Structure 1
């Protein structure tokens, strides 16, 4: 039968050929590890539970819901891989674990897109595009990545003897990886632009700096994962149908854990350690005044263009060319909006948490009272 090597990652201590106890009809090139998938499923699952707790505590579900959804898919994928290791000839379980492991990371990324939008709601004077369209545009991009990747993974895992289906699946997966990599580069560029504008204004509040560096780091991890998966895809197409000596990438299990699981595991724990709900308000109408410390409740981003215009031209190139902004600069009229009396996220004296007394939250991000 034609062998699908995409997920045929072999343990480094098992050599380049199938182990003696591997069934001839196994979908793996090796005796798959039983322990590693279980251990990492537990680690991803623990991070998922921590995200659920933090999203509830900080009332940040609308922004970081996708971290929990991605964590659910990713955890399920590694659980299914553990089950598949005991039933290496079961095609249905093999397809399911392939699908879940591949679609989890793009969902994780969707949470970062939402955080970028919330960051620009918080500092609207430095926004490079309509913050509401960041949410819409990148979620659509994420949905496209998800759909393309899911279709490719399903076709690839179910290809069996059909070489054309296998190639089609691999091409879809590669397209999804490229699209996600481009999206991450755009995210980094947007965050860098907001960061630079804050710096030029002479004020980069500690919470804004923390969110920016978190997004730089998590996007870099996703890019690393995309690059490594792309290299794997090229190696895969150079070794179609192989059963032995399939190359160092396809023939070593640790590549899967180091370059697929590793970056995303760091991603999810990083988001737990520096949860954006600690640094940004849960209300998108709450914004930071140009003085860099006062926060007010404004009307939210108001764009005078129609919805389709903001979607087609999220960066407002038409307004740039005409010299007329399409949005309302409400932050220039601070007297119209109420000052937030519960503190300031920029000073570290405000919190989204319901259960934490205000006096305990009145601590700056640098640890100073």
Structure 2
């Protein structure tokens, strides 16, 4: 039986081949992250990057299901909730990694201590996750014809993704200030001479090794694609459930799916276990009393 694409919740019928490719790509990256996290004993990767990949796999599997059964409400519910939430744990990994970089390069250049930095932004990430999840659940569970329920869910999702976008912007400004102060050697607190009590409390300047440069570059690129995805999502939801943006598949595939694929694989190749794990064990920098999130446990 032929189905009119306008009759589906998407406004189109998801392309089977595209959905299959994304499921495979996310599956490979997620499996690699799981193995890398275990190999480097970076257990925080499991509830962040691995969780993000698992959600994306589930969401794109829901879209693949929809490509076979376009009118299936369960498939639509799975994809809308999973894909809206997927990038949030991935963003949390960015916060943790930057906290480690701050510890390695010098907390004296950061407006927030590494631990405080991670706690503040991770808390905001959790709030965004809860709000987006609640909105996605309401929108997906709204009965056919329940315009108010669908609109309410969409507005809540919009609030959550807008909050996440604001967090990304603030995070970029704060981390940008840290890097500017580091490169120009303008600490927020006066540095002390070697051997002094201030140095022992973590007032130091770490060396920017090649590995740390690669990690910084990967972090910046990862943040860029997550920012692009968030901007797209905000515009998409503002346009409404029947708007041109949300009912155009190619926009979603490129500006959501492809952006998260790039973000996931960036950390596969520029993995913090390779670039930070060993560096943390070899650095001459003295850890601060306001120690950061442990990147590696033994």
Q: For residues 58 and 111 of structure 1, do their structure 2 counterparts lie closer, same or farther at Cα, with a shift above 3 Å needed?
A: same
1:220-264 Cα distance to aligned partner (Å, 9 max, x none) = 111111111111112226x4xxxxxx53x2342111101110111
Contact 2:33 2:45 in 1 (8 A): no
Cα deviation, residue 129, structure 1: 1.0
Cross-structure match for 2:70: 88
Matched, 1:180 2:164: yes
Aligned 1:145-224 pairs, distance under 5 A: 145-159=128-142, 160-201=144-185, 204-224=208-228
Cα deviation, residue 63, structure 1: 5.4
Q: Which has the higher helix share?
A: 2
Describe the SS at the equivalent of 2:277: coil
Matched, 1:269 2:269: no
Q: For residues 25 and 253 of structure 1, do their structure 2 counterparts lie closer, same or farther at Cα, with a shift above 3 Å needed?
A: closer
| More displaced 10-residue stretch of structure 1: 198-207 or 72-81 | 198-207
| More displaced 10-residue stretch of structure 1: 22-31 or 72-81 | 22-31
Cα deviation, residue 169, structure 1: 1.0
Distance 2:104 2:5 in 1: 57
Contact 1:63 1:115 in 2 (8 A): no
TM-score, normalised on structure 1? 0.67
Distance 2:170 2:145 in 1: 39
1:71-122 Cα distance to aligned partner (Å, 9 max, x none) = 1111111112212222222222211121111110111111111111111222
Cross-structure match for 1:128: 111
Describe the SS at the equivalent of 1:281: helix
Cross-structure match for 2:57: 75
Aligned 1:296-307 pairs, distance under 5 A: 298=286, 300-303=287-290
1:281-335 Cα distance to aligned partner (Å, 9 max, x none) = 3797x584xxxxxx25x5x4325xxxxxxxxxxxxxxxxxxxxxxx9xxxxxxxx
Distance 1:185 1:94 in 2: 31
Distance 2:223 2:77 in 1: 28
Unaligned runs of 5+ in 1: 1-18, 240-245, 289-294, 304-326, 328-351, 355-369
Aligned 1:333-352 pairs, distance under 5 A: none
Q: For residues 162 and 211 of structure 1, do their structure 2 counterparts lie closer, same or farther at Cα, with a shift above 3 Å needed?
A: same
TM-score, normalised on structure 2? 0.81
Cross-structure match for 1:278: 274
Cα deviation, residue 198, structure 1: 2.5
Cross-structure match for 1:5: none
CA RMSD of aligned residues (A): 2.8
Distance 2:151 2:164 in 1: 20
Contact 1:67 1:108 in 2 (8 A): yes
Cross-structure match for 1:143: 126
Contact 2:47 2:89 in 1 (8 A): no
Distance 2:55 2:289 in 1: 36
Distance 2:95 2:216 in 1: 12
Cα deviation, residue 213, structure 1: 2.0
1:140-174 Cα distance to aligned partner (Å, 9 max, x none) = 11111111111111111222322222221111111
Cross-structure match for 1:60: 42
Distance 1:220 1:85 in 2: 30
Distance 2:282 2:124 in 1: 27
Cross-structure match for 1:119: 101
Cross-structure match for 1:359: none
